[in-house]
Chain A
Amino acid sequence: MAIRNAKIVTGAGPVIAKGTVVVRKGLIEAVGENVPVPADAMIVEGEGLTVYPGLIDSLSTLGQPGAITAATANAGRGGRGQNAAPATTAAPVNPLAALAAAATLTPVARGPEDRPQTTSWIKIADEVSPNDRRIETVRAAGFTTVASFPTRGIFAGQGAVIDLLTGEKPGEMVMASPIGQYISVTRSGGFGGGFPSSLMGYLAYIRQLYIDMEHYKLVKDAYAKNPRGMQRPEYDRALEGLLDSPRILLPANRAVEIERMLKLAQELRQPTVIYGGRETFRPEAVAALKKYNAPVLVNMKWPEKARDTDPDEVDSMRLLETRDKAASAPAALAKAGVKFALYSDGMDVPRDLQRAVKKAIDAGLSREDALRALTLSPAEIYGVADRVGSIEKGKVGNLVVTRGDLFDDRTKVEMILVDGRKYTPPTDAAPFGGRGATVTDDPGAAGGKR
């Protein structure tokens, strides 16, 4: 396929005002101003169209039908009702959730030895399904790729970068796996009581598990070197899961939480990505991320005043500031040179996603930086920038073709290419479609309706 005479925003160099992109066998064969159109190519006339690299949602549960969209970073008691929807509404129907639910049948954990709320060995790549109906709507907003993670439990499991193909074999969707371990410090539904039950308990547990991992590795290596005369170390799938993970995702929204988690990450000596990032508009949060040189995934579901609150109750200054300034966080991060990506937190209506990005742009984020935070930056964070994130020769043929600027209100997504396969957004999912702008406070409910 060749798209010619189109404006091409490559994301890796200057914008090509009028050029051609050639995609063959799922890969970008050529891109440039004077690229000849191959004789066998299906031609798309790009007059008036703009081609962008496919967008990447840096934290998602897509590809897990029935999965709860639980990626609400709600570390500690910072949530205070706003944006802290409990991730318990959707019934667990997929095998992952069933596995996690099985954990409730085991006795209540009394300490770290019981490995509470841990399924670190689960790999999303093994469980991914093209039958997730959310894929289609998210793709209509220009997303071709997501970093999908299991999200139930403390050590929820290992994510994968997946391409948003539908009706194909699951294995085709997986671009990279494992890409990291999703760690949370909130109790997911159905786990009952037991250890840990407080934030300090969660932190102690996370610390202990990494101490155990180091020790496990030491003993295992010694045994592999010379098993004679040495007691065989027990196989521990929880620790195997940690050893497999190239990086960890830690939740942190408030500046205090960001500092706390970065300090913990340093202690654990694990490459770390912070997710949540609600207060990254605050200088002290940005400074901490810079100091520890850690990337952050910023939740695009900007905090709003909960609609069912007591009208006479006045929120704290800090909370008011956070709601006022949250959308300016990406701009602050870009200015400071902190690597960041944006994520949807379960938003899957194209209109909502577009509005969310636009809000960050209105708060000072440049369009280039916005695009980067949804393409090359997440690709770099997960170590797949050699495959996706920009329109370059040899990379995967993930493209979004729009009429108008990608982040403008009235822009229409004309066509999406995933692995070179062409998808046209369904009309009802297009911006200004029948769905309207329902901003839901409860990501679980949105997922459950489908």
Chain B
Amino acid sequence: MKRLLLTAVAAIAPLCAQTYVIQNATVMTVSKGTIKGGSIVVKDGKIAEVGEKVTIPPGAKIIDASNQYVTPGIIDCHSHIGGDGGINEGSTSVSSMVDIKDIINPEDIAIYRALAGGVTTANILHGSANSIGGKTLPLKMRWGKDAEGLIFEGATPGIKFALGENPKRAGNPAGGGVNATPARYPATRMGVEDVIREAFNDAKAYKAEWDAYDAAKAKGESPIPPRRDLQMEALKEVLEGKRFVHVHSYRADEILMMIRIADENGFKVRTFQHVLEGYKVAKEIAAHGAGASTFSDWWSYKVEAFDAIPYNAALMTKKGVVVSLNSDDAELMRHLNSEAGKAMKYGGLTEEEALALVTLNPAKQLGIENRVGSIEVGKDADLVIFDKMPLSAYAKVQKVLIDGTVYFDRDNEISGRAAKEAEKQKLIDKEKNPRGTQPATAPRRPQQ
């Protein structure tokens, strides 16, 4: 009984990280071309060998992937899954004191479903209710691990900024309906710009205070330290380059505005998110060194998202911007591979360029490309086995490995369903008819 329950909770009990050899696959490395009939050796959670011919280590488990494809694990640069108790702290214009890290919910079924869509890493962002939002971080989809176990260890954390309609409308009764919370500054795009600029003025003063304290301490004095302010601390980290800025943005003018604020204050925008008008200012984005994380063909859900084209990803790529395609949605997250495929039709990207939009490029944007994003010796064994060409809408994920551990196996999932269903039915029946759980001495009472 206990065993059954445990397996039901973990859905797929991850196997121990053992040595695997994936054989006879079409290996799409993304960084080093595609190998037909290739093999990958997975050892100690890392990719140990890739090629047409590999040495099979003793004791290795063979995964025959004949007629199948292997890609790097898909990376989603914009997701909101796996959080508890809301992903927007919308009560304040600058909510940089809050942290997604505090509310990771490893039990969110969306994690498992993303995994089943081949996603191995996702950048979990704060919402876009405020000009400066909360702290963010990338997670690995290690379904079954605890909150700590999901965190992409060593990855640089981020912070969410937001421009345009969302931050200026949030909390404003005019846009938020009759039950909206009282109006909150800002209410215009000018106001958004002002909030961000003011926040960095404050952050610089805060930083100066701490720098002075550190200097005094270095001189051997023992001054009273300044008050630590969580809101300012996050922005201080931005100024020090220790925290990546991910900016929710749509219109070309506000993208340029954000670049100006960043330049004035001496920090870099790491990525523009959504960035549907990015194709208009791709040169400027590339010059700033920012990445762009966009949709393939999702737009027109609000006025600022009208002037969009499916060529956006391809056009920005050709101007030298590191581009990724993200989901911003638990459902879209499950088929980012076919989203990437659309960039081949619209804009003529190569297979490799298209696949990079959901693997190597988001890895670069998150500063984790030394660990994930392509199939190379020494990188984390985050791998997806597809039954068909991965950029096709017909491709289905067969197996997903993270750190060399199988976290999703289509066959196990399907064959395990009946047992899980039966276990659940047992509990439902027991609750409906709790006979046997009542003590013998209990008086008979009508069911309540």
Taken together as a complex, chains A and B put the C-alpha atoms of A67 and B253 apart, in Å, by 55
Q: A195-B89, A409-B442 are in contact. Are A204 and B224 (CB under 8 A)?
A: no
Name B90-130 residues within 8 Å CB distance of A: 90-92, 95, 97-100, 102-103, 105-107, 126
A152-160, A210-218, A383-391 - interface stretch: A210-218
The reply to whether A76 and B84 contact each other, CB–CB distance below 8 Å, is: yes
The reply to whether B439 and A260 contact each other, CB–CB distance below 8 Å, is: no
A240-248, A316-324, A416-424 - interface stretch: A316-324
Closest chain A CB from B440 CB (angstroms): 11
On chain A, the residues within 8 Å of B448 by CB distance are 307, 439
The reply to whether B103 and A215 contact each other, CB–CB distance below 8 Å, is: no
Is B302 part of the contact surface with A, judged by Cβ < 8 Å?
no
Contact string against B for A residues 234-255, beta-carbon threshold 8 Å, 1 for contact and 0 otherwise: 0000000000000000000010
On chain B, the residues within 8 Å of A93 by CB distance are none
Contact string against B for A residues 169-189, beta-carbon threshold 8 Å, 1 for contact and 0 otherwise: 000000000000000010000
Is B134 part of the contact surface with A, judged by Cβ < 8 Å?
yes
The reply to whether B181 and A194 contact each other, CB–CB distance below 8 Å, is: yes
The reply to whether A320 and B228 contact each other, CB–CB distance below 8 Å, is: no
Taking CB as reference atom, which chain A residue is nearest B96? A204
Is B444 part of the contact surface with A, judged by Cβ < 8 Å?
no
A94-102, A105-113, A125-133 - interface stretch: A105-113
On chain B, the residues within 8 Å of A199 by CB distance are 84-86, 102-103
Contact string against A for B residues 52-96, beta-carbon threshold 8 Å, 1 for contact and 0 otherwise: 000000000000000000000000000000011111111110010
Is B433 part of the contact surface with A, judged by Cβ < 8 Å?
no
The reply to whether A194 and B91 contact each other, CB–CB distance below 8 Å, is: yes
The reply to whether A324 and B102 contact each other, CB–CB distance below 8 Å, is: no
- In-complex Cβ contact of B98 among A198, A254, A264 (8 A): A198
Is A362 part of the contact surface with B, judged by Cβ < 8 Å?
yes
Size band of the interface chain A makes with B: 35 or more
Is B5 part of the contact surface with A, judged by Cβ < 8 Å?
yes
Across chains A and B, the number of contacting residue pairs, with CB separation under 8 Å, is 147
On chain A, the residues within 8 Å of B92 by CB distance are 110-111, 195
Closest chain B CB from A152 CB (angstroms): 19
On chain B, the residues within 8 Å of A41 by CB distance are none
Name A51-109 residues within 8 Å CB distance of B: 75-78, 108-109
The reply to whether A215 and B84 contact each other, CB–CB distance below 8 Å, is: no
On chain A, the residues within 8 Å of B103 by CB distance are 76, 198-200, 203, 260
The reply to whether A212 and B227 contact each other, CB–CB distance below 8 Å, is: yes
Closest chain B CB from A228 CB (angstroms): 15
The reply to whether A256 and B84 contact each other, CB–CB distance below 8 Å, is: yes
Is B211 part of the contact surface with A, judged by Cβ < 8 Å?
no
Contact string against A for B residues 121-157, beta-carbon threshold 8 Å, 1 for contact and 0 otherwise: 0000010000000100000000000110000000000
The reply to whether B97 and A111 contact each other, CB–CB distance below 8 Å, is: yes
The reply to whether A437 and B445 contact each other, CB–CB distance below 8 Å, is: yes
Taken together as a complex, chains A and B put the C-alpha atoms of A362 and B427 apart, in Å, by 18
The reply to whether A200 and B100 contact each other, CB–CB distance below 8 Å, is: yes
The reply to whether A318 and B107 contact each other, CB–CB distance below 8 Å, is: yes
Interface centre among B84, B87, B439 (most CB of A within 10 A): B84
Is A270 part of the contact surface with B, judged by Cβ < 8 Å?
no
Contact string against A for B residues 405-448, beta-carbon threshold 8 Å, 1 for contact and 0 otherwise: 00000000000000010011001101100000101011101001
Taken together as a complex, chains A and B put the C-alpha atoms of A111 and B89 apart, in Å, by 11
Taken together as a complex, chains A and B put the C-alpha atoms of A111 and B225 apart, in Å, by 22
The reply to whether A211 and B228 contact each other, CB–CB distance below 8 Å, is: yes
The reply to whether B102 and A200 contact each other, CB–CB distance below 8 Å, is: yes
Contact string against B for A residues 215-227, beta-carbon threshold 8 Å, 1 for contact and 0 otherwise: 1001100100000
- In-complex Cβ contact of A260 among B102, B423, B441 (8 A): B102
Contact string against A for B residues 367-393, beta-carbon threshold 8 Å, 1 for contact and 0 otherwise: 000000000000000000000000000
The reply to whether A201 and B98 contact each other, CB–CB distance below 8 Å, is: yes
Is A193 part of the contact surface with B, judged by Cβ < 8 Å?
yes
Size band of the interface chain B makes with A: 35 or more
On chain B, the residues within 8 Å of A196 by CB distance are 89, 91, 98
Is B34 part of the contact surface with A, judged by Cβ < 8 Å?
no
Is B287 part of the contact surface with A, judged by Cβ < 8 Å?
no
The reply to whether B8 and A317 contact each other, CB–CB distance below 8 Å, is: yes
Is B348 part of the contact surface with A, judged by Cβ < 8 Å?
no
Q: A194-B181, A195-B91 are in contact. Are A256 and B439 (CB under 8 A)?
A: no
Is B230 part of the contact surface with A, judged by Cβ < 8 Å?
yes
Q: A314-B428, A320-B424 are in contact. Are A112 and B97 (CB under 8 A)?
A: yes
On chain A, the residues within 8 Å of B8 by CB distance are 317
On chain B, the residues within 8 Å of A414 by CB distance are none
Taken together as a complex, chains A and B put the C-alpha atoms of A198 and B80 apart, in Å, by 14
The reply to whether A318 and B428 contact each other, CB–CB distance below 8 Å, is: no
Closest chain A CB from B50 CB (angstroms): 37
On chain B, the residues within 8 Å of A317 by CB distance are 8-9, 420, 423-424, 427
Q: A307-B448, A317-B427, A321-B427 are in contact. Are A200 and B85 (CB under 8 A)?
A: yes
On chain A, the residues within 8 Å of B228 by CB distance are 211, 215
Q: A219-B224, A320-B428 are in contact. Are A259 and B147 (CB under 8 A)?
A: yes
- In-complex Cβ contact of A204 among B5, B230, B442, B445 (8 A): B230
On chain A, the residues within 8 Å of B175 by CB distance are none
Taken together as a complex, chains A and B put the C-alpha atoms of A27 and B91 apart, in Å, by 53
Closest chain B CB from A297 CB (angstroms): 21
Is B182 part of the contact surface with A, judged by Cβ < 8 Å?
yes
Q: A111-B97, A284-B146 are in contact. Are A324 and B430 (CB under 8 A)?
A: yes
The reply to whether B224 and A222 contact each other, CB–CB distance below 8 Å, is: yes
Taken together as a complex, chains A and B put the C-alpha atoms of A256 and B146 apart, in Å, by 8
Taking CB as reference atom, which chain B residue is nearest A195? B91
Taking CB as reference atom, which chain A residue is nearest B105? A256
Name A237-291 residues within 8 Å CB distance of B: 254, 256-257, 259-260, 264, 284
The reply to whether B95 and A201 contact each other, CB–CB distance below 8 Å, is: yes
On chain A, the residues within 8 Å of B166 by CB distance are none
Is B18 part of the contact surface with A, judged by Cβ < 8 Å?
no
On chain A, the residues within 8 Å of B424 by CB distance are 314, 317, 320
Taken together as a complex, chains A and B put the C-alpha atoms of A239 and B134 apart, in Å, by 25
Taken together as a complex, chains A and B put the C-alpha atoms of A200 and B424 apart, in Å, by 32
Is B172 part of the contact surface with A, judged by Cβ < 8 Å?
no
On chain B, the residues within 8 Å of A212 by CB distance are 227
The reply to whether A218 and B224 contact each other, CB–CB distance below 8 Å, is: yes
Is A207 part of the contact surface with B, judged by Cβ < 8 Å?
yes
Closest chain B CB from A316 CB (angstroms): 8
Closest chain A CB from B230 CB (angstroms): 5
Interface centre among B9, B97, B423 (most CB of A within 10 A): B97
Closest chain B CB from A190 CB (angstroms): 14
- Enumerate the 5 nearest inter-chain pairs by beta-carbon distance, A residue then B residue, closest first: A199-B85, A193-B181, A198-B86, A200-B98, A201-B89
User: Which B residues contact A (CB, under 8 angstroms)?
Assistant: 5, 8-9, 83-92, 95, 97-100, 102-103, 105-107, 126, 134, 146-147, 171, 181-182, 224-225, 227-231, 420, 423-424, 427-428, 430-431, 437, 439, 441-443, 445, 448
Can you list 9 residue pairs at the A/B interface with Cβ under 8 Å? A112-B97, A193-B181, A197-B181, A198-B86, A200-B85, A200-B102, A256-B105, A260-B103, A409-B441
Known: A76-B84, A215-B225. 8 other contacts (CB 8 A): A111-B97, A197-B88, A198-B87, A198-B89, A205-B97, A211-B230, A314-B428, A321-B9
